[in-house]
């Protein structure tokens, strides 16, 4: 899944899409958990760069591995929050 911040400067990316599909096609990820990365978007000159300081490992969750799908942030940081 991908989610662009409202200002267009950060793209959040997970390697999980939909739990039933993940279970069918990526059973190892279900066992180990998914990840989330932040890609910085250069809105002035163009280009994308992975932010090396931002990495979320959902395999390290206290209640076991988790799968990250959509990202929603308090305050409406992402495009999916426009409807609020």
DSSP string across 25-55: H-HHHHHH--EEEEEEE-TTT--EEEEEEEE
pTM: 0.77
Can you tell me the distance from the alpha carbon of 19 to that of 74, in angstroms, rounded to the nearest whole number? 24
At residue 84, the pLDDT reads 43
At residue 51, the pLDDT reads 97
At residue 63, the pLDDT reads 86
- Residues of the chain falling short of pLDDT 70: 70-84
At residue 55, the pLDDT reads 94
């Amino acid at each position: 899944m991908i989610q662009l911040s409202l200002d267009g400067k950060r793209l959040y990316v997970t390697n999980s899409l939909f739990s039933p599909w993940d279970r069918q096609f990526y059973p190892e990820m279900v066992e180990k958990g998914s990840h989330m990365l932040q890609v910085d978007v250069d809105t002035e000159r163009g280009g994308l760069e992975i932010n090396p300081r931002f990495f979320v490992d959902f395999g390290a969750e206290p209640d076991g591995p988790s799968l990250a799908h959509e990202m929603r942030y308090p305050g409406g940081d992402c495009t999916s929050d426009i409807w609020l």
